[in-house]
Amino acid sequence: MASVRLEGVVKRFGRATAVNRVTLEVGDGEFFVLLGPSGCGKTTTLRLIAGLEYPDEGRILMDGEDVTYKEPKERNVAMVFQNYALYPNMTVYDNIAFPLNVRRKEIGLTREEIREKVLEVARMLQIEELLDRKPGQLSGGQQQRVALARALVRRPRVWLMDEPLSNLDALLRVAMRAELKRLQKELGITTVYVTHDQAEAMGLADRIAVMNRGKVVQVGTPREVFHEPSHIFVATFLGSPPMNILECTIEPRGGGGVVKCPGIERPLQWSPGGVERIYLGVRPEFIRVERSPGPGRWEATVEVVEPLGTEAVVTLTIGGAIVKAKVLDEGYRPGETVYLELDWSRVQAFDPETGRAIGELARTLRGLAG
């Protein structure tokens, strides 16, 4: 168990900067998730923590001790590789037992104790029947569970997991997720977990770091990053479908002002200094679709309906802009005219130049709701 700290870590590969000034603090026993699109530097960050790469700048600390240039072995971390990295000539059993076998003397385990540990973790990951096979005789999902088992069989200071469930079917993935979370909480082993699957991140994480192009954009609890994105990137990366972004302006009008979005207008009881461009963010969940007009409802046209069971994602055009709404599936048909109602208490505002959230403005917009 350990805390992990990255301070201004930079890693370059030739001209490309894979990790750009990342500063992170992972608490002791925390389940920390790195989330971001492909190529954003998640694996590289994990490899830096593991000691497989050395940073070009910055420091890495474990429990306050500088480990920036220490060997992986000295850091005592276990890692699940994105490409599994199973030893092809060993059986599944020997693969899982390998980390225990190579330091059997150091940790003082008997062969029998190792056997018990391997069997236990194999049972948990449902790979007991595969123990005598070679990795080449396994499916991708089975190999992935063996790779996970090889890390889980140890009790290292930190578990590093690079998309360890990406190749499992939906059912198994949910089951494994629960097992993983249970085991991690039970043992309290600090875990840094990489994924680009937001549902996984939301379900597992104590805290999430959302990364983009080598940078950490936001760190926070799943609730925080979902409901209070600090940057337009986070807003549009999370959620399915992600947040709608409308190009709006705020203008003075009469004594007060007005916020003008495509097809939508709403008076403000406060007067902005001049015309200001903003990006208004609304999650699809916070848009209601009605069939009759009314005050605070705006006309829109249904373009596409994607049924999800009880709910449906409805794509609409409103004033030339495209908006997605997640609503109960009421049998909307393409071409139908409907009326939108925004939940103004949940809107976000972003600076069109920097993409940063403008908390104050968002609060003003929300406060005027209803």
Ligand X SMILES: Nc1ncnc2c1ncn2[C@@H]1O[C@H](COP(=O)(O)OP(=O)(O)OP(=O)(O)O)[C@@H](O)[C@H]1O
Q: Are 135 and 96 in contact (CB under 8 A)?
A: no
In sign, the C-alpha dihedral spanning 177, 180, 183, 186 is negative
353 lines the binding site for other proteins (CB under 8 A): no
88 lines the binding site for other proteins (CB under 8 A): yes
43 lines the binding site for Mg ion (CB under 5 A): yes
Segment near other proteins (CB under 8 A); pick from 50-58, 250-258, 308-316, 317-325: 50-58
Where residue 171 falls (left for φ over 0; alpha for ψ -120 to 50; beta otherwise) is alpha
Instruction: Give 205 or 211: the residue with its C-beta nearer to Mg ion.
Output: 211
Segment near other proteins (CB under 8 A); pick from 19-27, 102-110, 125-133, 283-291: 102-110
Q: Which of 341, 313, 316, 346 is nearest to 327 (CA)?
A: 313
Q: Are 291 and 333 in contact (CB under 8 A)?
A: no
68 lines the binding site for other proteins (CB under 8 A): no
In this structure, are strands 264-268 and 77-80 parallel, antiparallel, or unpaired?
A: unpaired
CA distance 326 to 283: 9
358 lines the binding site for other proteins (CB under 8 A): no
We find the least distance from the C-beta atom of residue 63 to other proteins, in angstroms, to be 18
- Other C-beta atoms closer than 10 Å to the C-beta of 28 total 13
99 lines the binding site for other proteins (CB under 8 A): yes
x/- map, 137-176, other proteins, by CB under 8 A: -------------x--------------------------
Helix axes 140-152, 111-124, angle to 10 degrees: 130
We find the least distance from the C-beta atom of residue 32 to ligand X, in angstroms, to be 15
Instruction: Give 80 or 219: the residue with its C-beta nearer to Mg ion.
Output: 80
Which residues, 6+ apart, have CB-to-CB distance to 325 below 8 Å? 284, 287, 288, 289, 313, 314, 316, 340
339 lines the binding site for other proteins (CB under 8 A): no
Instruction: Give 28 or 74: the residue with its C-beta nearer to other proteins.
Output: 74
Q: Are 206 and 192 in contact (CB under 8 A)?
A: no
Instruction: Give 13 or 69: the residue with its C-beta nearer to ligand X.
Output: 13
Residues near other proteins (CB under 8 A): 50-52, 71-73, 76-79, 81, 83, 85-90, 98-99, 102-103, 106, 150
Residues near Mg ion (CB under 5 A): 43, 82
